[in-house]
Amino acid sequence: MEQATERKKVVFSAIQPSGTVTLGNYLGALKNWSAMQDEYNCIFALADLHTITVRQEPAQFRKNIYEAYATLLACGIDVEKSLFFVQSHVNTHAQLAWVLNCYTQFGELSRMTQFKDKSAKHADNVNAGLFTYPTLMAADILLYQADLVPVGADQKQHLEITRNIAERFNGLYGNVFRVPEPYIAKSGARVMSLQDPTKKMSKSDENVNGFITLNDAPEVIMKKFKRAVTDSDACVKYGEGKDGINNLMSIYSTITGKTFEQIELEFEGKGYGDFKTAVGEAVVEELRPIKERFDQYIKDKAYMQECWTKSAETAQRFSQRTLDKAMKKIGYVLK
């Protein structure tokens, strides 16, 4: 008798459609999203409900949603293999978020470092949504009974509070939510600014030479890498006090699959100029097909709408079962 095939684990991940996608976003997360789809049941969302904790200009916000969806399709999300929808198209997210708000402690939310950081950054708009943001994130994850959630260092606290909320709810009502684990990618890089390699690469960097975007032209990418901050050592070697070179080596390694030892051997006796050119060229070649696919998708809004509508319908059915179960346990009368 054949053995039953093991259930594929569910991975949930979401990204905000907040404009520019950087090389850091791509190498740190999106490249892995594409690679996960054969091994896991992947559920991806554009977290547009989260985005309005910061005030948006409507026309630009709408444009960002289309561009983010096109970008992620171009990076390899396959809607035949995975669900990929727009969060606001699935109303269970907002509904479960309210329920979970009532099972989340004020003190827990006030300790979230992202709330403190964003409150300082947007002091003129410290809204309640910014405060309860982690509860909506918990709802996103728990609705799909996710086993795994890919998290960067800056998201670990959010997954921790999600686990706490799930355990608290399960403790009261029995086994309603699967308690998710962090997914640590086998490959991936924490990409730092090309101008200040002690800081993470960010589109909000005031110095445009600090970050690469997926839409940068090849000549712009090459120029930015040639201007990348290094050190006076002139030796391509990974080590302490060599933040700039460490960052470039990490980028080159993630794209080419070469180890740091192999990279050191490849550039032995060569200067930083040669190395920066090689890294720039590797990035240009990696991003070229993504840019070409993006240009195709962004012209075909009907196709994107078809993709996200189909995914949202499946997500709605799946998540409704979890929501109904949670509400029934609390004592709600379901229609």
Q: Decide if 10-188+301-330 and 208-295 have a common fold.
A: no
Q: Which of 9, 81, 203, 270 is catalytic?
A: 203
Which pLDDT does position 2 carry in this prediction?
45
Q: Is 226 a catalytic residue?
A: no
Residue 2 DSSP class: P
Residue 135's nearest CA partner among 107, 181, 91, 104 is 104
Taking the whole predicted model, whether its pTM rises above 0.85 is answered as yes
> Within the chain, which residues score under 70 in pLDDT?
1-6, 153-154, 186-188
Q: Which of 31, 200, 224, 276 is catalytic?
A: 200
Other Cβ atoms within 10 Å of 145 Cβ, number: 18
Domain range 10-188+301-330, its CATH number among 3.20.20.140, 3.20.20.100, 3.40.50.10880, 3.40.50.620? 3.40.50.620
Q: Is 81 a catalytic residue?
A: no
Residue 247's nearest CA partner among 255, 238, 256 is 238
Tell me, what amino acid is at 220? V
Q: Which of 118, 224, 242, 276 is catalytic?
A: 118
Domain range 208-295, its CATH number among 3.20.20.80, 1.10.240.10, 3.10.20.30, 3.30.1180.20? 1.10.240.10
Q: Is 200 a catalytic residue?
A: yes
Question: Domain map of the chain by residue range?
Answer: 10-188+301-330, 208-295
Which pLDDT does position 177 carry in this prediction?
98
Sign of the torsion angle spanned by Cα atoms 111, 117, 119, 123: positive
For 142-198, how does the pLDDT look when each residue is reduced to its tens digit (9 = 90+)?
Answer: 999 999 999 876 678 889 999 999 999 999 999 999 999 998 776 667 899 999 999
Which pLDDT does position 154 carry in this prediction?
65
Residue 140's nearest CA partner among 328, 314, 322 is 322
